[in-house]
Structures are given as C-alpha cells and as structure tokens.
A and B are shown apart, each in its own frame.
Chain A
Amino acid sequence: MRVRFRIWRQDNARVKGGFRDYEVDGLNEDMSLLEALDHLNEQLVLRDEKVVAFEYDCREGICGQCGVFVNGRAHGPHANMTTCQLHLRSFADGDTITIEPWRAAAFPVIKDLIVDRSAFDRIIRQGGYISAKTGTAPEANAIPVGKEVADRAMDAAACIGCGACVATCKNSSAALFTAAKINHLNTLPQGKPEQHRRVSDMVQQMEEEGFGHCSFTGACEVECPEGISVANIAEMNARYLKAKLFG
C-alpha cells in the first residue's frame, strides 16, 4: 500500500510552519497510522533528514498523548477513537492523508505535530482533586455509593486528557474537559465538601488559560475517544451557578 502524507512541519513555536508532502510506499493496511509515520521517519533518517516530531506513548488509546488532525478531523475519520487506534485499513491505496497539529490558542505548537497542553494540568491543579492526605481515609465501605452514582462518576472520569474536544471546537473551548473532572468528583460523596470551591476555581482557570466559550455545538462529544457526553457541560454550568449562589 502507498499513500501521500501532507504533514505540517514547524521547527518551533517562534517560526512559521507549513505543509510538506511525502510519498510513502511499502505500507500495509494492518499498520496503524502512527506505525506508518514511524516508517516514514525511518526513511527520512536514511535520507539524512530530520524526523517528523509527533506524540504518542501507550499506543492503545488510554494515555491521551497522541492526537492530531487527520484529513481535517480530530483523531481521524472515525468518531470516538484516538489517533493511535486508527489503522491504514481506514484509507485507500493512493490516498493523500493530511496531518496537522491541534489548532488552539491555548495549545501552542512546540514542534511539527506536537503542541503544549499543559493548560489542562493547570486546570486540574486548581481543584481537580479531593483534599485527603495519605493516611486519613475512612474504611472504604463506610460511605456507600450507589451503583448508578459510581457509574455516572466513572463515565465522566474516563477522560484521557487528549485535547480533541478543544481542537475540534470552533471556539476552542475546554468546557468538556473541565466539566468531566468537576462532575466526576462532585458526583461522589467524597467530593462534596469541596464542590463549590472546585467548580469556581477550575472554571476560572479555564478562562484564564484562553480557552473559548462553549456554544453547545456538540462537536466535542463526537471526537471524544471516551464518548464523554456534552450533557456534562450543562451539568457543570448548573453547578457553577449553584456555587456562585451558595458557595
């Protein structure tokens, strides 16, 4: 199988980038897209060129480190999938595959396809935790948590922090990411004592980082590898209001 890659190349944040085309042969459809890029990189090395910098680690859809636009869509042509789970069988022989980094003001490009997503860590820093020192916990079954509640918390907690929600949003909003963490913790009894402070501080940080506002297009939910529902955002907004009223 052969394809033409059109890949965004940019040396660092200070210089302008642009697309470059690469013809790659000797592929097969069982290869993942990232393996095809590995293959390209080996050829670039042998041609004495710098490799394409792109991100990955687990390559099984859970660490959230990979993530690029493939033919104009976050994580490629399928819904609810990470880039590392995308295989060449989703493309046809001879296709042109365009690959570019997440585009969002809050995610500046570091090099080629790699962006800086540390804004997400700073949102978590502002309250995406329960303040419980090691050694202070009560017996685990002392506080019952109904299955439905635990399941709802888990649905939100599944977020892998890849940033596809931001990248795909026309406003570059981080509402889905932020809401997922808030709802995970605020749903559980253990998270209740800090619920108001959590939602206020995290939302404030999200705004300071320069993410846009959510206008409920629902695009994020489609690209989210974990299928985290956009209903989380409405829930966060309600919690935010409550925090402002009672917090």
Chain B
Amino acid sequence: MKKLNAKIPEGKLEEKWRNYQLRSKLINPANKKKLNVIVVGSGLSGAGAAATLAELGYDVQCFCYQDSARRAHSVAAQGGINAAKNYQHDGDSVWRMFYDTLKGGDFRSREANTYRLAELSAPLIDHFTQQGVPFAREYGGVLVNRSFGGVQVQRTFYARGQTGQQLLLAAYAQLYKMIRAEKVTMHTRTEMLDLVLVDGKARGIIARNLVTGEIQRYAADAVVLATGGYSRVFRLSTLAIGCNGSAIWKAHKRGALFAAPSFTQIHPTALPQSSEAQSKLTLMSESLRNDGRIWVPKRKDDPRRANDIPEDERDYYLERRYPSFGNLAPRDIASRAAKERIDAGHGVGRLKNAVYLDFRHAIERFGLDTIRDRYGNLFTMYRKITGVDAYREPMQISPAAHFSMGGLWVDYELMTTIPGLYAIGECNFSDHGANRLGANSLLQASVDGYFILPNTINNYLAAELGAEQITTDHPAFAEVEEEVRAHINRILNVNGHKTVDHFHRELGKVMWRECAMSRTRLGLERAIRQIESIREDFWSSVKVTGTGEELNPELEKALRLANFLELGLLMCTDALQREESCGAHFREEYQTEEGEALRVDEDYGYVSAWEYADGTFKLHREELHFEFVQPTVRSYK
C-alpha cells in the first residue's frame, strides 16, 4: 500500500498556497474543452465547483438526487459563514482564524489546509457579495458580523437566518448560468451508485435515474465527489432525509481511504426528539447562543414551568463551567455539558431530554424588536414545529448529530488516494480536525468548490490530455454496472418481513448510544456486534416493494441504508481504535478530573485513514507535523 503523501507545498504557511499555484501545471483553454469532469453533488461545494470548472472551459456533468440543484442540504444552514475580514476592528486576522480553527479541531487537522481555509475566506465574501447574496448590512451600507462558538471575535457573515440558502442559491444560479452556456449538463434525480476505475484511475460512475430506474454509465477524465455529510447514519440528525454516504462509501470500497470516520459533530441546539416516529431533528442555529442563555433547574426533576423557577434556582452550567466563553463554548463541549446535566437528572421537557435556551435577559436588555430582527425567522420556525412562543418562554433544545468531520482522505490538492478522484465539501476529511467550528463549513464547502479544486485539478488533468479516450463501452463499465444490478436485485429479492425504516431505527439507536457524544471501549465493541447482527438481519428479512424499473422511494432508502450499515461499522472501529479523547471524540476512559477531554498526542497525533480490505478495515496513519504552532491543551475556561 502506498505511503500517504499529503503533498504539502514547501515554504512558510503564508506562502504555501501561492507556491503551490506557481508550480502546478496549467492547461490552455483550447485543451480544457477536451476534458470532461463529473461532479457528483450540486450543493455549495459541487455547484461552485461545477460552475467554476465550466467557466474555466472544462466540460462538466453534474449530478444530484433531488429534483433540483437548489435543494441540496447546504440550503438548511442558518447561522452564517466565517471570514477573516476584520471589519469589526476587533483584532481578527488570517492567523487568528487559522489558529482558532486548528485549536477548535483539537489539533487533529493539517496546518497547511487550515491556513489556506482562513486565507481564502476574505475573497470568498467578496465573491458571494458580487453574486448577489443579500448579506446583513448596517444602515450605512457596510456588512455586519456576529460571533459563533469557539471564538472571541466577530467574523461571521449572515443573511438573516437563511445564510446557507442564500449561498446555495447563488451557487445554483451560477451553475444554471453555465448550463445556459451549454458548458454543464445537469442530471437531477440521478443517484450515483458506484465508481468506475480504469487502470487504477477514476474514470466514471454508474448512476440510477430515480424516475425511470434506468441504470446509466457516465465516463470522464476525472470524478469529483461533493456529496455532503453522512450523519444520517444516526437516522435522527439535522440532515435532510436523503443525505447519504453511498458515493463515498462505494469509492472507499474501490480503494479510497476513509479518514477519521467517527469524528462526528453533535450539535448542542437542536429540537429534542418527541416520539419514536420522528424522522428528523430540526436545528436551531448556534447564532441563538449570542443572546440566549442556557440553563437547567438546579433541582432534579423539577416539576415547575420554566418561568416559575426563580433566578437563583437555575444552573447556567456553561457560564459556570466555562466563564470566559460561557454560552459560546464550542459545540462538542456544549453538547457534552448538556448530556452531563441531562444524565444527572436535570433534563427538562416531556421526555426530560432537553435543556432551556432562554432569551428573557436579552429581550429585557435589547428590546423585543432587536431580538425579532436578529432571530425572527428562527422563533417563527420554533413556533411552527412546537407550537410554543419562545418570546414568552424559553426554548427547549437538545444535542443532535449534525456534521461529519470525517470523510474521504484527501491530500492538499483535495485528491483522494484514487488518482483522478477528488472529494470536496463535507464529504472529505480535511480542515476541521476533531471538531468543526460553527460557520466554518459553508466556508470550507465554498472554497473547496470555487477556489481550490479548480486550481488543483489541472495539475492532474494536464497529464491526462494525451491519454487514451475512455468511453462507457470500456469493459470496466459493464463490469461495475453488472455488480450494481446484482446488488439491487439482491435487495429486491430478500422479500422479508421488516421495513427499511425499521433497520434504520435500529442502527440509529446503536450509533447514538455508543458512537456519539461519549464512547467507551466496551460500548463500541458491543456496537460492532450489534451492527453486524442488524446487518445480517437486514439481508435476510428486509422487505422492499415495487420494482427497480420505476420511481421507488423504498428501494432508494434501502440502497442507502445498506451502505450506512457498513459505514457504521467503520465508524465504531475507528472510535474504538483511538484511545484518547479529542474534540468531538470523547472516550470516557480518557478524561481529566474535571471531565474534560484528554488528548494523547504522543500516541495519536495522526489522522487515521482506513483502507477497505474485503470486509475488514486496515489502518494507515498520516502523522501530523506542527511546524508553526504548538498543540496546547484546548481550554475554554
């Protein structure tokens, strides 16, 4: 097996990206026309990449499973996007943002990638502003910022509570601009089911037309995966119902290493689960923590209504435990602190699985109008879902699976270990380490797609120009297509007596219990056994009605779940192997006396990259070298 080479360019941190671009191979515009790129996914990262690659002259084919590119789950991001503009004159800089991100990730990401993320953040805001994103403004006409968790400056840009929607719609519009220019062909309602390799290089995909069920082949000179996060493995999450890990999982099985699969962000402020039938957990934006205060009753199982509990009987536990960051403590820490209080019997709500997020003080201080202006649509959303007016009584919130820091291992060029296969946006593992800071993900998805990939893919494609043209007639396509068909038939033919959702609920419960906010060796070993048996049961008793040759939502779900059942195993394997606590990965065996995460840099100062080997997983290590900063104990006290 090849040694992992992250291809970090030489030079000082500030010079690396420029040095890289100076040295990478260029392709002249006339030749770019001859090159064809597949982009799977049209979220913020995929749409941005597809539009920009097309502007540069490449021929692009773009795919999404929804009916339109505008529905990708980037649309649901509420809070904002970070950039080191230092508009607020509060001491922000590229360096500070880089450091906050690296520290936020508990020193489990690469310096060079993280620095580049911060470096490209300011031009990205220029870019989106020019594309017509209606970011919030001051009366004088300049842009406004607010704070997000884990930082002490204001660097978050936002468009009301709909930032992701506005950024995605801007990217979608640019995508359609290039569709009009006939440089991009868009395949909506088309799901990638497998990857095709020729001579070890990524050369195309097999996809299913979700309306007709037709199995289709697409060939290209390079394949870009931009398929988003996989936290639906927990079933209940803040992700969209269709979010899946299928594309990256199939790529993994074809040879791409999977990095840090178990690093999952559990978001502290989602709406609590209210019943077994629930299909998703709605996020309440982290931005609410700018003004809302989190508390639980000091008394266990306090039967009183929130507003009847006097001030001195409330425990503002984040302010108590983390005085300098308070309610803006990073997500992993805030979630764990909530779990600790809930487990200790202080949870509120009907199922005692929530904590309060209270705006009373903010309303007293700034007035109702200001709070309405800042968060109006979030309060409205809360009322629609719960029927409760949060201007009058505190919201009830609870931790929920939210973001995958893990993903396909990529080098500095965003290429996976399969030549010609790239992964961008949430589906890769690159910049966030063991915990992502709020508002850094829209940023990462965007810079990956707009700025980085279009400037690295040329370095690979330049050498492909003279190569033999591969078409879908190549036997490799027939072979993979046959495997895909066999897999579909196998699912349809089980004809058992349990629904797909039944198995997804079972998997979700195990993952949430053993592989979420806190993990133990015993629990993870148990989880692996349980997932194996759920998987066996799936293959012997799942029932999917309808056929493969029609629009069949049950089949779509079953195909995605079959992959989640394998991915879940890898996640638990990864969490079990990493005998330390870092960021969102909290192993109960490794904690300080105060219950904080205990990192073990000497033994685990690397990125875990897993190879698929016939149903088992083999670990490779990418050692992390810190040349420019010294990893410290991450403290938000």
A interface list, Cβ under 8 A from B: 11-12, 27-28, 30-32, 34-35, 38-39, 41-42, 44-46, 48-51, 53, 55-65, 81, 85, 87, 89, 110-111, 114, 116-118, 120-121, 124-126, 128-141, 143-147, 149-151, 153-154, 157-158, 160-161, 184-185, 188, 190-191
Q: Is the CB of B73 within 8 A of A57?
A: yes
A134 and B132 contact, Cβ closer than 8 Å, known pairs A45-B499, A85-B385, A147-B138: no
* Across-interface contacts of A136 in B (CB, < 8 A): 130
CB distance from A185 to the nearest CB of B (A): 5
A154 and B159 contact, Cβ closer than 8 Å, known pairs A65-B66, A117-B67: yes
A–B pairs, 22, beta carbons within 8 Å: A30-B274, A39-B277, A41-B553, A42-B502, A48-B545, A50-B545, A58-B76, A60-B280, A81-B384, A111-B550, A116-B67, A121-B68, A121-B186, A124-B70, A125-B176, A128-B173, A132-B131, A137-B130, A144-B140, A154-B160, A154-B166, A188-B134
CB distance from A32 to the nearest CB of B (A): 8
Could you say which of B55, B66, B138 contacts A63, with CB atoms under 8 Å apart?
A: B66
Given contacts A130-B131, A139-B126, A141-B87, 10 further A-B contacts (CB under 8 A): A31-B275, A55-B67, A59-B282, A62-B165, A89-B387, A117-B68, A118-B68, A128-B173, A138-B126, A190-B129
* Across-interface contacts of A143 in B (CB, < 8 A): 129
B interface list, Cβ under 8 A from A: 48, 51-52, 55, 66-71, 73, 75-76, 85, 87, 123, 125-127, 129-132, 134-143, 159-160, 162, 165-166, 169, 172-174, 176-177, 179-180, 186, 188, 211, 240-242, 274-275, 277-280, 282-283, 381, 384-385, 387, 450-451, 454, 497, 499-502, 543-546, 550-554
Closest to A121 in B: B68
Q: Is the CB of B180 within 8 A of A125?
A: yes
Q: Is the CB of A134 within 8 A of B129?
A: no
The CA-CA distance from A121 to B179 in the complex, in Å, is 10
A121 and B177 contact, Cβ closer than 8 Å, known pairs A133-B55, A134-B454, A138-B126: no
* Across-interface contacts of A157 in B (CB, < 8 A): 132, 134, 159, 166, 169
* Across-interface contacts of A60 in B (CB, < 8 A): 76, 280, 282-283, 381, 385
* Across-interface contacts of B165 in A (CB, < 8 A): 62, 158, 160
* Across-interface contacts of A89 in B (CB, < 8 A): 387
Q: Is the CB of A190 within 8 A of B132?
A: yes
* Across-interface contacts of B497 in A (CB, < 8 A): 46
Q: What are the nearest 6 A-B pairs in CB distance?
A: A144-B141, A129-B173, A137-B130, A154-B134, A153-B134, A137-B126
Closest to A125 in B: B176
Could you say which of B52, B68, B73 contacts A161, with CB atoms under 8 Å apart?
A: B68
Could you say which of B75, B134, B180, B186 contacts A184, with CB atoms under 8 Å apart?
A: B134
* Across-interface contacts of A39 in B (CB, < 8 A): 277
Q: Is the CB of A191 within 8 A of B66?
A: no
Could you say which of A30, A55, A56 contacts B275, with CB atoms under 8 Å apart?
A: A30
Q: Is the CB of A58 within 8 A of B138?
A: no
The CA-CA distance from A217 to B555 in the complex, in Å, is 42
Q: Is the CB of B55 within 8 A of A57?
A: no
Closest to B83 in A: A140
CB distance from A131 to the nearest CB of B (A): 6
A140 and B85 contact, Cβ closer than 8 Å, known pairs A116-B67, A150-B135: yes
The CA-CA distance from A97 to B141 in the complex, in Å, is 49
Closest to A140 in B: B129
A38 and B279 contact, Cβ closer than 8 Å, known pairs A46-B543, A137-B129, A153-B134: yes
CB distance from B443 to the nearest CB of A (A): 14
Q: Is the CB of B277 within 8 A of A56?
A: no
Q: Is the CB of B176 within 8 A of A129?
A: yes
Q: Is the CB of A28 within 8 A of B68?
A: no
Q: Is the CB of A62 within 8 A of B279?
A: no
